[in-house]
Structure 1
Amino acid sequence: MSRLLVLGGVGEALAIARHLPPPHVYSLAGLGRVPDDLACQVRVGGFGGAEGLAAFIREQAIDLLLDATHPYAAQISRNAAQAAQVSGIPCWALRRPGWQAVAGDDWREVADWAELVRALAPFQRPFFTLGREPLAHLQDIPASQRWTVRCLESLPGTERAEVIGDRGPFSLDAERALFRRLGSDVLVSKNSGSAATEAKLQVARERGLPVLVLRRPALPAVERVFGSVAEVLTGLRERGFVRLGETLDGLTGQALP
């Protein structure tokens, strides 16, 4: 039987892994929860760049690499494409669609941290939902600002920064209550496209808040690109990586955390 390696870390990847029999491998960086109920093998930890990933592919006789990492994990995606190429195997990618602004949204796209800092200058209480990146800049907060940073881990803040440790899915009511408590005047977000974290955008719309959106990074070309879990599983079934008796019940292709 051919062997698949899934590079995971988001909900869609886990949904795919739940359909995989034992020969296949689900790989995680180890920054979040490690599932203990999968039939396939689970690997935790980095590979050591593209070269280390290529070595793993050769050693484990991997026939297909599926990049199902976060849309902003650009370096991992580049490593995956390069490792697959030098190993002579196909690389597929699951790339969830981004959110789209609708009537009432005030979205302002920024390219990087430096541009984001400039765009934040008029605001006083930004709410960051970028993950850990703002934590490296807590000592650089302007005197006129107080930050709130939400990431997966609960960590100490500073006199002018609150760090909230939490993970989605976030309900609309909970997000409304959080925005009221914080009194934020701007939301800072990646365009992750995840349904689990989309409620914050509706709350920003309701409150008339601008949203500074970090632009998605450019990702490498691969053999096949899919937009949903159902599409990936159909492709894997066609190639014999998922047994024909397995179904796609309940998989509608919506974004997961």
Structure 2
Amino acid sequence: MKRILLLGGTGDALRIARHLGAGHVYSLAGLGKVPDDLACAVRVGGFGGSEGLERYIEDEAITLVIDATHPYAAQISANAARASRAAHVPYWALRRPGWQPKAGDDWRMVADWDELTEALAPFRKPLFTLGREPLAHLDEIPPHQFWMVRCLDPYPDTARARILAARGPFALEGERALFALQAFDVVVSKNSGGSATEAKLDVARERGLPVVMLRRPELPAADREFEQSADLLDALQAAE
């Protein structure tokens, strides 16, 4: 019998977890809400790098690792690939396709925080949708800017930033209302892909706003890669 270790944290991962029975393990880093209605076991917390993950795989007799982490969780994916190879178990990965620019889009691609802040220099009111990372830079906000940072965790506002704790999916009409109320002049985003947070890009296009887009990191090759959770579930069923 296969014993699956599912590395997750995304909505796609939770959809997969809901199809796993007792004996399998759904692992979360610990941010956000921890589901309590699953048949499989739920593990919260890190493993201690690739070596710790390798030990866990061996100690728990895991026979398949599924990486359904966020497309920007490059370190976790690298650890999972390395640990799976060392433990001689298959490594499958859900690789959600990124968004593609459409007619009317003005995307400014950046590789890191330094390039991002340089690209933002001409703007006054950016909406950050990068998660927690901007919270570490609130003391670097230029005098002419006021930031809105949307992330999962509540955090105190500052004189130059408002922190909006919110969890997707975000509907188009809700995004339209937020943009109209706040009058953003630029959107800052990861190229996460999927439909849950895509509406902000639709509204940016409607309003003629540029998007500063953080490029995706390089991810390790997997033994099998899937673009949709449904395809991965079909493969699991076929392998039983």
Q: Same fold (TM over 0.5)?
A: yes
* Structure 2 match to 1:106: 106
Q: Is the 8 A contact 2:169 2:197 kept in 1?
A: yes
* Structure 2 match to 1:233: 233
SS of alignment partner, residue 196 of structure 2: helix
1:108 deviates by 1.1
The letter for the 1-side match of 2:118 is R
Q: Percent identity between the aligned chains?
A: 65
* Structure 2 match to 1:178: 178
1:181 deviates by 1.5
Tell me, in whole angstroms, the C-alpha distance in 2 between the residues paired with 1:48 and 1:9. Answer: 18
SS of alignment partner, residue 197 of structure 1: coil
Tell me, in whole angstroms, the C-alpha distance in 2 between the residues paired with 1:51 and 1:239. Answer: 28
Q: Which runs of structure 2 are paired with 1:179-194 in the superposition (5 Å)?
A: 179-194=179-194
Deviations 1:138-176 (A, max 9, x none): 001001111110000121121010100001011111111
Q: Which runs of structure 2 are paired with 1:37-186 in the superposition (5 Å)?
A: 37-186=37-186
Q: Is the 8 A contact 2:126 2:188 kept in 1?
A: yes
Tell me, in whole angstroms, the C-alpha distance in 2 between the residues paired with 1:44 and 1:135. Answer: 23
Tell me, in whole angstroms, the C-alpha distance in 2 between the residues paired with 1:189 and 1:163. Answer: 16
Deviations 1:64-112 (A, max 9, x none): 1000000000000000000001101110100111111111111111000
Tell me, in whole angstroms, the C-alpha distance in 1 between the residues paired with 2:52 and 2:33. Answer: 23
The TM-score with structure 1 as length reference comes to 0.92
Tell me, in whole angstroms, the C-alpha distance in 2 between the residues paired with 1:161 and 1:23. Answer: 45
* Structure 2 match to 1:197: 197
The letter for the 2-side match of 1:35 is P
The TM-score with structure 2 as length reference comes to 0.99
SS of alignment partner, residue 86 of structure 1: helix
Q: Structure 1: 5+ residue runs without aligned partners?
A: 241-257
Q: Structure 2: 5+ residue runs without aligned partners?
A: none
Tell me, in whole angstroms, the C-alpha distance in 1 between the residues paired with 2:25 and 2:198. Answer: 30
Q: Is the 8 A contact 2:149 2:161 kept in 1?
A: yes
CA RMSD between the two structures: 0.7
1:233 deviates by 0.5
Tell me, in whole angstroms, the C-alpha distance in 1 between the residues paired with 2:111 and 2:36. Answer: 38
Tell me, in whole angstroms, the C-alpha distance in 1 between the residues paired with 2:229 and 2:168. Answer: 18
1:194 deviates by 2.4
Extract structure 1 runs of 4+ deviating beyond 4 A: none
* Structure 2 match to 1:10: 10
SS of alignment partner, residue 195 of structure 1: coil
Q: Number of paired residues?
A: 240
